[in-house]
A and B are shown apart, each in its own frame.
Chain A
Amino acid sequence: MEMLRLVGFGIIAATLIITLGKFSDQHAVFGLIIRVVTVIIFMIFILQHLSSVFEVIKELSHKVQMDSTYLDIILKIIGIAYIAEFGYQLCKDAGEEAIGTKIQFAGKVMIFVISSPVILALVALITELL
């Protein structure tokens, strides 16, 4: 049932954007703003449903007595990827491909920065074994 409302919401927003686009060429900015708001509402809705998934993951990690710092890093990386994708798609829609690719590049750098301690720990572990 949720899915029906989601799809209906998306279709209504798309038709509104088209009607606005038809009316006038230089007022495409309103179409873009409606597109941004629709995407944001979609993401907020999905994020709320995502929290249950993370609860399950956390529970599993507690059962396995896994070190929770790694889980936090993974969650952060997912968050960064999520936001970078969001920015990139919107910039591409607006026609600003260059800005979008820069956002993606920044996302990659941030992910690498956050995951560097894990890499160091791995290397330390390997040298220990050898």
Chain B
Amino acid sequence: MFDIAIIFKLAGLGLGITILNTVLKKVGADEWIFPITIVGVIMALLTVVTYISKLFEAVQTMFTF
């Protein structure tokens, strides 16, 4: 059950986005920072949503809602 890989994937995504943004700042293409961050956040939220549904499924089977 312990898929630690998910955590590493998310952390990698976060780090990648932040590094990409700092690079963008250096290059001077500042206007691209915001959309890239949004895309990164959406990708991360997708994984969170699947996990939340898994959790609620577990709770439902457990507490016989």
Contacts and interface: CB of A to CB of B under 8 A. Distances in A.
Interface residues of A, number: 36
B24 to A, nearest CB: 12
Contacts of A61: none
A45 B55 contact: no
Interface string B1-19: 1111011101101110111
Contact of A12 (B3, B7, B21): B7
Interface in A5-58: 5, 9, 12-13, 16, 19-20, 23-24, 26-27, 29-31, 33-34, 36-38, 40-41, 43-45, 47-48, 50-51, 54
Q: Is the interface of B mostly helix, strand, loop or mixed?
A: helix
Contacts, number: 105
A31 B52 CA distance: 17
Interface in B1-59: 1-4, 6-8, 10-11, 13-15, 17-19, 21-22, 37, 40-41, 44-45, 47-48, 51-52, 54-56, 58-59
Interface of A: 5, 9, 12-13, 16, 19-20, 23-24, 26-27, 29-31, 33-34, 36-38, 40-41, 43-45, 47-48, 50-51, 54, 72, 75-76, 78-79, 82-83
